[in-house]
Amino acid sequence: MLNRIFNKKPRYFLYTILLFSVQHVFADIFVNTEVDTTREQIEKMPTDDIWWTVYGEDMLWNFKNLNKIFPTNTIYRNGPVKDLRLNISKKIANTKIQTPSGPMTFESFIHSDLSTAISVLILHKGEIVYEKYPRMKPHEKPVFWSVAKVFSSTLVTMLEEQGRVDTMLPIDMYLPELKGSDFEGILVQNILDMATGIRCSEEYENKQACYYIYSSAIGDGFWTMESPDNPYEFVAKIKVGKFAEQGQQFDYSGVNTFILGWLVEKITGLQFQDALSEMIWTKMGAEADGAFFAPRYGVPVIHGGFLARPRDVARFGLLFTPSFNKVSDSRLISEKHINKLLYSGRPSLIIKPGTPSYIPGLKHNIDQWDMVFENGNIYKGGWAGQGLIVNPLEDYVVVWNSYFKDTQESETKLTPVIFELMDSLYKNNNDL
Protein backbone atom coordinates (compact mmCIF):
# COMPACT_ATOMS: atom_id res chain seq x y z
CA MET A 1 0.00 0.00 0.00
CA LEU A 2 2.71 2.45 1.01
CA ASN A 3 4.74 1.61 -2.05
CA ARG A 4 1.74 2.33 -4.26
CA ILE A 5 1.15 5.64 -2.64
CA PHE A 6 4.75 6.67 -2.87
CA ASN A 7 4.94 5.47 -6.44
CA LYS A 8 1.80 7.17 -7.63
CA LYS A 9 1.85 10.44 -5.69
CA PRO A 10 5.37 11.30 -4.60
CA ARG A 11 4.90 15.04 -5.19
CA TYR A 12 1.98 15.22 -2.75
CA PHE A 13 4.12 13.78 0.01
CA LEU A 14 6.92 16.13 -0.82
CA TYR A 15 4.51 19.07 -0.63
CA THR A 16 3.13 17.77 2.67
CA ILE A 17 6.58 17.34 4.16
CA LEU A 18 7.64 20.75 2.93
CA LEU A 19 4.52 22.42 4.33
CA PHE A 20 5.00 20.65 7.67
CA SER A 21 8.61 21.80 7.84
CA VAL A 22 7.72 25.39 6.93
CA GLN A 23 5.03 25.46 9.60
CA HIS A 24 7.50 24.34 12.23
CA VAL A 25 10.09 26.87 11.08
CA PHE A 26 7.61 29.72 11.35
CA ALA A 27 6.35 28.39 14.69
CA ASP A 28 9.91 28.55 15.97
CA ILE A 29 10.32 32.05 14.58
CA PHE A 30 7.18 33.44 16.11
CA VAL A 31 7.36 31.76 19.54
CA ASN A 32 7.67 34.31 22.32
CA THR A 33 11.30 33.98 23.32
CA GLU A 34 13.07 35.40 26.35
CA VAL A 35 14.48 38.06 24.05
CA ASP A 36 10.98 39.06 22.97
CA THR A 37 9.80 39.21 26.58
CA THR A 38 12.72 41.43 27.53
CA ARG A 39 12.01 43.79 24.64
CA GLU A 40 8.34 43.93 25.58
CA GLN A 41 9.16 44.75 29.19
CA ILE A 42 11.58 47.49 28.16
CA GLU A 43 8.89 48.98 25.90
CA LYS A 44 6.52 49.17 28.88
CA MET A 45 8.87 51.40 30.84
CA PRO A 46 8.03 55.09 31.13
CA THR A 47 9.73 57.35 28.63
CA ASP A 48 9.26 60.54 30.61
CA ASP A 49 9.62 59.46 34.21
CA ILE A 50 11.58 57.16 36.52
CA TRP A 51 11.98 53.75 34.91
CA TRP A 52 10.86 51.70 37.88
CA THR A 53 7.41 53.31 38.22
CA VAL A 54 5.56 50.28 36.89
CA TYR A 55 3.54 47.94 39.05
CA GLY A 56 2.12 44.45 39.26
CA GLU A 57 3.50 41.62 37.16
CA ASP A 58 5.67 44.06 35.22
CA MET A 59 7.36 45.16 38.45
CA LEU A 60 7.82 41.54 39.44
CA TRP A 61 9.52 40.75 36.13
CA ASN A 62 11.75 43.84 36.35
CA PHE A 63 12.79 42.99 39.90
CA LYS A 64 13.96 39.53 38.82
CA ASN A 65 15.54 40.60 35.54
CA LEU A 66 17.21 43.93 36.18
CA ASN A 67 20.44 42.56 34.71
CA LYS A 68 18.67 42.09 31.35
CA ILE A 69 17.60 45.72 31.26
CA PHE A 70 20.65 47.62 32.53
CA PRO A 71 24.41 47.21 32.68
CA THR A 72 25.67 45.81 35.99
CA ASN A 73 28.96 45.70 37.90
CA THR A 74 29.89 42.24 39.16
CA ILE A 75 30.60 41.46 42.81
CA TYR A 76 32.79 38.38 42.54
CA ARG A 77 32.66 35.20 44.59
CA ASN A 78 35.70 32.94 45.05
CA GLY A 79 36.72 29.66 46.62
CA PRO A 80 34.60 26.74 47.81
CA VAL A 81 30.89 27.33 48.36
CA LYS A 82 29.94 27.15 52.03
CA ASP A 83 26.84 24.99 51.91
CA LEU A 84 23.96 25.94 54.17
CA ARG A 85 22.53 22.94 56.00
CA LEU A 86 18.77 22.39 55.73
CA ASN A 87 16.89 21.92 58.98
CA ILE A 88 13.38 22.82 57.86
CA SER A 89 10.90 23.72 60.59
CA LYS A 90 7.22 22.89 60.01
CA LYS A 91 6.41 25.23 62.89
CA ILE A 92 7.22 28.26 60.76
CA ALA A 93 5.03 27.21 57.85
CA ASN A 94 2.11 26.53 60.20
CA THR A 95 2.41 29.66 62.33
CA LYS A 96 -0.85 31.65 62.17
CA ILE A 97 -0.72 35.28 61.15
CA GLN A 98 -3.41 37.91 60.88
CA THR A 99 -4.48 39.06 57.40
CA PRO A 100 -7.36 41.18 56.03
CA SER A 101 -9.02 37.86 55.18
CA GLY A 102 -8.60 36.50 58.69
CA PRO A 103 -6.00 34.19 60.26
CA MET A 104 -3.86 32.21 57.83
CA THR A 105 -0.81 30.05 58.14
CA PHE A 106 2.35 31.83 57.06
CA GLU A 107 2.87 29.31 54.27
CA SER A 108 -0.65 29.84 52.91
CA PHE A 109 -0.27 33.59 53.09
CA ILE A 110 2.92 33.96 51.06
CA HIS A 111 1.46 31.84 48.25
CA SER A 112 -1.93 33.60 48.32
CA ASP A 113 -3.21 36.47 46.20
CA LEU A 114 -3.07 38.67 49.30
CA SER A 115 0.71 38.51 49.19
CA THR A 116 3.35 39.63 46.72
CA ALA A 117 6.13 37.61 48.36
CA ILE A 118 8.90 36.71 45.92
CA SER A 119 11.14 34.84 48.36
CA VAL A 120 11.42 34.18 52.08
CA LEU A 121 14.49 32.67 53.72
CA ILE A 122 15.03 32.14 57.46
CA LEU A 123 18.21 30.83 59.06
CA HIS A 124 18.60 29.83 62.71
CA LYS A 125 22.00 28.97 64.18
CA GLY A 126 23.44 28.98 60.68
CA GLU A 127 20.93 26.48 59.27
CA ILE A 128 18.07 27.05 56.85
CA VAL A 129 14.84 26.51 58.78
CA TYR A 130 12.52 28.00 56.17
CA GLU A 131 12.99 28.60 52.44
CA LYS A 132 10.30 29.37 49.89
CA TYR A 133 10.31 31.06 46.50
CA PRO A 134 6.64 31.74 45.70
CA ARG A 135 7.34 33.92 42.65
CA MET A 136 10.92 33.21 41.57
CA LYS A 137 13.40 30.42 40.92
CA PRO A 138 16.04 29.80 43.59
CA HIS A 139 18.90 30.59 41.21
CA GLU A 140 17.52 33.99 40.17
CA LYS A 141 18.96 37.22 41.55
CA PRO A 142 16.17 39.61 42.53
CA VAL A 143 16.98 43.22 43.26
CA PHE A 144 17.45 44.37 46.83
CA TRP A 145 16.88 48.10 46.77
CA SER A 146 17.93 50.03 49.86
CA VAL A 147 19.07 46.87 51.59
CA ALA A 148 22.21 47.63 49.57
CA LYS A 149 22.97 50.62 51.79
CA VAL A 150 24.40 48.49 54.61
CA PHE A 151 27.27 47.26 52.43
CA SER A 152 28.79 50.75 52.41
CA SER A 153 28.50 51.19 56.17
CA THR A 154 29.86 47.70 56.80
CA LEU A 155 32.96 48.38 54.70
CA VAL A 156 33.51 51.77 56.35
CA THR A 157 33.39 50.18 59.81
CA MET A 158 35.78 47.43 58.72
CA LEU A 159 38.18 50.09 57.44
CA GLU A 160 37.81 51.96 60.73
CA GLU A 161 38.81 48.84 62.64
CA GLN A 162 41.88 48.59 60.40
CA GLY A 163 42.82 52.12 61.49
CA ARG A 164 42.27 53.57 58.02
CA VAL A 165 39.19 55.66 58.83
CA ASP A 166 38.07 57.62 61.88
CA THR A 167 34.31 58.10 61.75
CA MET A 168 34.48 60.99 64.19
CA LEU A 169 36.43 63.10 61.70
CA PRO A 170 34.83 65.31 59.02
CA ILE A 171 34.32 63.61 55.68
CA ASP A 172 36.36 66.26 53.83
CA MET A 173 39.45 65.05 55.71
CA TYR A 174 39.24 62.01 53.45
CA LEU A 175 37.41 63.53 50.48
CA PRO A 176 38.86 67.00 49.94
CA GLU A 177 36.63 67.19 46.87
CA LEU A 178 33.78 67.99 49.29
CA LYS A 179 35.40 71.17 50.63
CA GLY A 180 33.19 74.12 49.81
CA SER A 181 30.07 71.94 49.63
CA ASP A 182 27.44 71.56 52.32
CA PHE A 183 29.15 68.32 53.33
CA GLU A 184 32.31 70.10 54.44
CA GLY A 185 32.70 69.59 58.17
CA ILE A 186 30.10 66.81 58.39
CA LEU A 187 31.35 63.92 60.54
CA VAL A 188 31.54 60.53 58.87
CA GLN A 189 29.40 59.07 61.68
CA ASN A 190 26.61 61.56 60.94
CA ILE A 191 26.69 60.47 57.30
CA LEU A 192 26.51 56.85 58.45
CA ASP A 193 23.48 57.65 60.63
CA MET A 194 21.63 59.80 58.06
CA ALA A 195 21.97 62.79 60.34
CA THR A 196 23.75 65.41 58.23
CA GLY A 197 21.03 68.07 58.48
CA ILE A 198 21.52 68.84 54.77
CA ARG A 199 18.43 69.50 52.61
CA CYS A 200 18.87 66.57 50.23
CA SER A 201 16.35 64.00 51.44
CA GLU A 202 14.95 61.41 49.04
CA GLU A 203 12.60 63.07 46.56
CA TYR A 204 11.22 61.61 43.36
CA GLU A 205 8.43 64.07 42.63
CA ASN A 206 10.20 67.43 42.35
CA LYS A 207 12.64 67.11 39.46
CA GLN A 208 14.49 70.22 40.65
CA ALA A 209 15.14 68.76 44.09
CA CYS A 210 18.69 67.98 45.20
CA TYR A 211 18.11 64.24 45.52
CA TYR A 212 16.23 63.90 42.25
CA ILE A 213 19.09 65.55 40.36
CA TYR A 214 21.59 63.24 42.08
CA SER A 215 19.49 60.19 41.22
CA SER A 216 19.28 61.21 37.57
CA ALA A 217 23.05 61.68 37.46
CA ILE A 218 23.75 58.20 38.79
CA GLY A 219 21.00 56.61 36.69
CA ASP A 220 18.43 55.74 39.32
CA GLY A 221 16.19 58.68 38.39
CA PHE A 222 15.00 59.93 35.02
CA TRP A 223 17.84 61.47 33.04
CA THR A 224 17.33 64.45 30.71
CA MET A 225 19.71 66.58 28.70
CA GLU A 226 19.76 69.01 31.65
CA SER A 227 20.83 66.33 34.13
CA PRO A 228 24.45 66.24 35.28
CA ASP A 229 26.57 63.47 33.81
CA ASN A 230 28.82 62.92 36.80
CA PRO A 231 27.38 62.12 40.26
CA TYR A 232 30.76 62.69 41.92
CA GLU A 233 30.98 66.23 40.55
CA PHE A 234 27.35 66.95 41.44
CA VAL A 235 27.71 65.78 45.05
CA ALA A 236 31.01 67.67 45.42
CA LYS A 237 29.19 70.92 44.63
CA ILE A 238 25.98 70.47 46.66
CA LYS A 239 24.91 73.81 48.15
CA VAL A 240 21.32 73.47 49.27
CA GLY A 241 21.52 74.62 52.88
CA LYS A 242 20.65 72.85 56.12
CA PHE A 243 17.42 72.23 57.98
CA ALA A 244 19.21 71.28 61.20
CA GLU A 245 22.63 71.07 62.76
CA GLN A 246 24.42 67.83 62.01
CA GLY A 247 23.78 64.99 64.44
CA GLN A 248 20.41 66.36 65.57
CA GLN A 249 17.82 64.84 63.21
CA PHE A 250 17.46 61.76 61.03
CA ASP A 251 16.86 62.43 57.33
CA TYR A 252 16.96 59.54 54.88
CA SER A 253 19.06 60.12 51.76
CA GLY A 254 20.94 57.86 49.37
CA VAL A 255 23.41 60.71 48.83
CA ASN A 256 24.86 59.77 52.23
CA THR A 257 25.36 56.22 51.00
CA PHE A 258 27.01 57.45 47.82
CA ILE A 259 29.51 59.49 49.86
CA LEU A 260 30.30 56.46 52.03
CA GLY A 261 30.94 54.44 48.90
CA TRP A 262 33.17 57.23 47.60
CA LEU A 263 35.06 57.12 50.90
CA VAL A 264 35.57 53.35 50.52
CA GLU A 265 36.87 53.89 46.99
CA LYS A 266 39.26 56.64 48.11
CA ILE A 267 40.70 54.59 51.01
CA THR A 268 40.99 51.25 49.18
CA GLY A 269 41.80 52.50 45.68
CA LEU A 270 39.16 50.11 44.37
CA GLN A 271 35.80 50.72 42.72
CA PHE A 272 33.12 50.00 45.28
CA GLN A 273 31.96 46.64 43.93
CA ASP A 274 35.59 45.44 43.83
CA ALA A 275 36.13 46.51 47.45
CA LEU A 276 33.01 44.58 48.44
CA SER A 277 34.24 41.58 46.48
CA GLU A 278 37.68 41.64 48.07
CA MET A 279 36.66 42.39 51.65
CA ILE A 280 33.48 40.29 51.98
CA TRP A 281 31.97 38.45 49.00
CA THR A 282 35.04 36.32 48.19
CA LYS A 283 35.39 35.36 51.86
CA MET A 284 31.90 34.19 52.82
CA GLY A 285 31.47 31.06 50.70
CA ALA A 286 28.98 32.68 48.32
CA GLU A 287 27.36 30.39 45.78
CA ALA A 288 27.10 33.03 43.06
CA ASP A 289 28.40 36.43 42.02
CA GLY A 290 26.34 39.43 43.03
CA ALA A 291 26.04 42.73 41.17
CA PHE A 292 25.12 46.40 41.39
CA PHE A 293 23.18 47.88 38.56
CA ALA A 294 25.26 50.60 36.96
CA PRO A 295 23.26 52.29 34.21
CA ARG A 296 25.48 55.34 33.64
CA TYR A 297 29.21 55.13 32.92
CA GLY A 298 29.65 52.07 35.11
CA VAL A 299 29.02 53.90 38.39
CA PRO A 300 27.33 51.42 40.75
CA VAL A 301 24.07 52.50 42.37
CA ILE A 302 25.15 51.45 45.84
CA HIS A 303 22.29 53.23 47.62
CA GLY A 304 19.81 50.81 46.07
CA GLY A 305 20.38 48.43 43.20
CA PHE A 306 21.91 45.22 44.51
CA LEU A 307 21.30 41.89 42.78
CA ALA A 308 22.00 38.58 44.49
CA ARG A 309 20.59 35.19 45.33
CA PRO A 310 18.69 35.30 48.63
CA ARG A 311 20.95 32.59 50.05
CA ASP A 312 23.99 34.79 49.50
CA VAL A 313 22.32 37.76 51.18
CA ALA A 314 21.65 35.37 54.07
CA ARG A 315 25.34 34.39 54.10
CA PHE A 316 26.19 38.08 54.47
CA GLY A 317 23.70 38.30 57.33
CA LEU A 318 25.30 35.32 59.07
CA LEU A 319 28.52 37.30 59.41
CA PHE A 320 26.72 39.36 62.11
CA THR A 321 25.69 36.31 64.15
CA PRO A 322 27.42 33.71 66.36
CA SER A 323 27.11 31.32 63.38
CA PHE A 324 29.49 33.33 61.19
CA ASN A 325 31.82 30.30 61.04
CA LYS A 326 29.25 28.43 58.95
CA VAL A 327 30.20 30.64 56.00
CA SER A 328 33.55 32.24 56.82
CA ASP A 329 36.89 30.82 57.94
CA SER A 330 37.60 34.04 59.83
CA ARG A 331 35.49 36.59 61.69
CA LEU A 332 34.86 39.37 59.16
CA ILE A 333 32.42 41.33 61.34
CA SER A 334 33.96 41.84 64.77
CA GLU A 335 32.16 41.67 68.10
CA LYS A 336 33.01 45.35 68.51
CA HIS A 337 31.21 46.10 65.24
CA ILE A 338 28.15 44.10 66.31
CA ASN A 339 28.07 45.73 69.75
CA LYS A 340 28.22 49.14 68.11
CA LEU A 341 25.11 48.28 66.08
CA LEU A 342 23.28 46.87 69.11
CA TYR A 343 24.18 49.43 71.76
CA SER A 344 25.76 52.61 70.36
CA GLY A 345 22.97 54.22 68.39
CA ARG A 346 21.41 57.59 69.20
CA PRO A 347 17.72 57.07 70.04
CA SER A 348 16.97 60.78 69.77
CA LEU A 349 17.45 60.66 66.00
CA ILE A 350 14.33 58.59 65.29
CA ILE A 351 12.46 57.70 68.48
CA LYS A 352 9.54 59.99 69.30
CA PRO A 353 7.46 58.22 71.99
CA GLY A 354 3.81 59.17 71.88
CA THR A 355 3.76 59.84 68.15
CA PRO A 356 1.98 57.63 65.59
CA SER A 357 5.30 56.75 64.00
CA TYR A 358 6.76 55.29 67.19
CA ILE A 359 7.32 51.51 67.02
CA PRO A 360 7.36 49.64 70.36
CA GLY A 361 10.69 48.03 71.13
CA LEU A 362 12.61 50.33 68.76
CA LYS A 363 15.97 51.45 70.18
CA HIS A 364 17.70 53.43 67.43
CA ASN A 365 19.02 53.54 63.88
CA ILE A 366 22.72 53.34 63.16
CA ASP A 367 25.24 52.91 60.31
CA GLN A 368 22.63 52.86 57.49
CA TRP A 369 20.57 50.18 59.29
CA ASP A 370 17.00 51.43 59.57
CA MET A 371 16.08 50.10 63.01
CA VAL A 372 17.60 48.24 65.92
CA PHE A 373 15.23 46.67 68.45
CA GLU A 374 15.37 45.64 72.10
CA ASN A 375 15.07 41.96 71.11
CA GLY A 376 18.27 42.15 69.05
CA ASN A 377 16.73 42.58 65.59
CA ILE A 378 18.93 44.73 63.35
CA TYR A 379 16.83 45.60 60.30
CA LYS A 380 17.38 47.11 56.86
CA GLY A 381 14.50 47.45 54.45
CA GLY A 382 14.13 48.25 50.79
CA TRP A 383 11.53 49.97 48.61
CA ALA A 384 8.57 47.79 47.59
CA GLY A 385 9.25 45.24 50.28
CA GLN A 386 12.71 43.73 50.55
CA GLY A 387 14.37 43.21 53.86
CA LEU A 388 17.21 41.82 55.91
CA ILE A 389 17.09 41.09 59.64
CA VAL A 390 20.15 39.93 61.53
CA ASN A 391 19.77 39.02 65.17
CA PRO A 392 23.07 38.34 66.96
CA LEU A 393 21.29 37.61 70.26
CA GLU A 394 18.91 34.93 69.00
CA ASP A 395 21.26 33.87 66.17
CA TYR A 396 18.87 34.16 63.25
CA VAL A 397 18.80 35.83 59.83
CA VAL A 398 15.76 36.64 57.69
CA VAL A 399 15.85 37.65 54.02
CA TRP A 400 12.82 38.47 51.90
CA ASN A 401 11.65 40.08 48.65
CA SER A 402 8.32 41.36 47.45
CA TYR A 403 6.80 43.93 45.09
CA PHE A 404 3.79 46.22 44.71
CA LYS A 405 0.66 44.64 43.28
CA ASP A 406 -0.75 47.90 41.87
CA THR A 407 -0.58 51.67 42.20
CA GLN A 408 -2.73 51.43 45.32
CA GLU A 409 -0.27 48.95 46.83
CA SER A 410 -3.26 46.80 47.72
CA GLU A 411 -1.24 43.74 48.73
CA THR A 412 -0.79 42.82 52.37
CA LYS A 413 2.71 44.07 53.14
CA LEU A 414 5.22 41.30 53.74
CA THR A 415 7.59 43.20 56.03
CA PRO A 416 5.24 43.64 59.04
CA VAL A 417 4.14 40.02 58.60
CA ILE A 418 7.80 38.93 58.85
CA PHE A 419 8.21 40.89 62.07
CA GLU A 420 4.98 39.42 63.46
CA LEU A 421 6.15 35.93 62.53
CA MET A 422 9.58 36.24 64.16
CA ASP A 423 8.13 37.83 67.29
CA SER A 424 5.67 34.96 67.71
CA LEU A 425 8.39 32.36 67.17
CA TYR A 426 10.79 33.84 69.70
CA LYS A 427 8.50 35.38 72.29
CA ASN A 428 8.62 32.40 74.62
CA ASN A 429 11.63 30.42 73.40
CA ASN A 430 14.00 30.15 70.50
CA ASP A 431 13.43 26.51 69.72
CA LEU A 432 12.25 26.25 66.13
The 10s digit of each residue's pLDDT in 109-141 is 999 999 999 999 999 999 999 999 999 999 999
Contact 314, 399 (CB under 8 A): yes
pLDDT at position 367 is 98
pLDDT at position 14 is 42
Helix axes 254-268, 210-218, angle to 10 degrees: 50
What order of strands is seen across the sheet that includes strand 362-366?
A: 127-132, 117-124, 396-402, 386-391, 378-382, 369-373, 362-366
Identify the bridge partners of residue 300 per DSSP, sorted by sequence position: none
SS3 of residue 193 by DSSP: coil
Tell me how far apart the alpha carbons of residues 260 and 340 are, in angstroms, rounded to a whole number. 18
**Domain coordinates in residue numbering, the chain:** 72-353+361-426
Dihedral class, residue 51 (left if φ above 0, else alpha if ψ from -120 to 50, else beta):
alpha
Residue 418 is given by DSSP the state: H
pLDDT at position 31 is 54
Tell me how far apart the alpha carbons of residues 348 and 249 are, in angstroms, rounded to a whole number. 8
Report strand pairing: 117-124 vs 127-132.
antiparallel
Contact 125, 323 (CB under 8 A): yes
pLDDT at position 42 is 83
pLDDT at position 220 is 86
Query: Phi and psi (nearest 5°) for 332?
Result: -80, -35
Tell me how far apart the alpha carbons of residues 351 and 346 are, in angstroms, rounded to a whole number. 9
Contact 156, 267 (CB under 8 A): no
Contact 138, 125 (CB under 8 A): no
Percent helix, strand, coil in the chain (nearest 5)? 40, 15, 45
pLDDT at position 428 is 55
User: What contacts 134, CB < 8 A, 6 or more positions away?
Assistant: 110, 111, 115, 117, 118, 119, 120
Mean per-residue pLDDT pooled into runs of 10, the chain (432 residues): 38 43 49 82 80 89 93 97 97 94 96 98 98 98 97 98 98 98 98 98 91 93 87 97 96 98 98 98 98 94 97 98 97 98 96 77 97 97 96 98 96 96 78 60
Residue type present at position 194? M
Tell me how far apart the alpha carbons of residues 26 and 291 are, in angstroms, rounded to a whole number. 37
> How many CA atoms within 13 Å lie on the side-chain side of 117?
26
Identify the bridge partners of residue 391 per DSSP, sorted by sequence position: 396
Distances (CA, A) of 284 to 122, 158, 248, 278, 289: 18, 15, 36, 11, 12
Name the helix (H) or strand (E) containing 364.
strand 362-366
pLDDT at position 8 is 41
pLDDT at position 359 is 87
Which ranges of 65-194 would DSSP assign to H, the alpha helix? 66-69, 90-94, 106-111, 149-161, 188-192
9-45 burial: b if 16+ Cβ within 10 Å, else e: eeeeeeeeeeeeeeeeeeeeeeeeeeeeeeeebeeee
pLDDT at position 96 is 95
Name the helix (H) or strand (E) containing 297.
none
Q: What CATH number does domain 72-353+361-426 carry, 3.20.20.70, 3.50.50.60, 3.40.710.10, 3.40.50.1370?
A: 3.40.710.10
Question: What is the reported pTM?
Answer: 0.91
Residue type present at position 296? R
DSSP string across 60-93: HHHHH-HHHHS-EEEE---SS--PPPB---HHHH
